[in-house]
Amino acid sequence: MNQMKKIVKKKHRTLFLLTFTFVAGKVAAQSDVEKLTNYINGSQLVTYSESSYLSDNSASAITYIDFCPNGRYQYSYDGSYTVKGTQHTTNRNNRAYGAGVAENEGDWQVLDYQGGYYLEITDYTGTKNYYPIDVQKMLAGKWRIGNVTYVFAPGNGRCP
């Protein structure tokens, strides 16, 4: 009987230790997500894209995404293009121009998934999109991928 009590006590300690380890591991993961969320809160991401400068046609767009502390975001886009007329027609010196603007808003949150961090964006229609977060690039504040330049500005969000 005494031996049975020792085994039961040992099992409870082991169970407690496993439970504590599991809970402590969860708290650490949530802490990282919370730190990243707090870093993004009130910040602004600006993207600027441009077409190749080697052609006579050009396009550019600038996008502002403001991450508000209440888990909301505001998105605004402004883009334009110029297309030169074809060389073998009477229109070769003519150009076509265009511009567009868009605004959107919705919810955002940081998720921890399979060892990486993702930004979940839910637009006003309820559509969810997921974007991987490169913490090093975000901390650097500015980076370029292809023809798109990204600038992340902590604390510069234009939130109401």
What is the per-residue pLDDT across 73-124, written as a single tens digit (0 to 9) for each?
Answer: 998 988 776 766 666 656 555 666 677 777 889 999 999 999 899 999 999 9
Torsion over CA: 124, 128, 131, 133 (sign): positive
Report pLDDT digits (tens) over 3-60: 434 433 444 333 333 333 333 344 444 578 999 999 999 999 999 988 765 566 677 8
Q: Which helix (H) or strand (E) holds 92?
A: none
CB 100, CB 76: distance < 8 Å: no
**Token digits for 47?**
């993207």
27 alpha carbon, distance to own chain's centre: 23
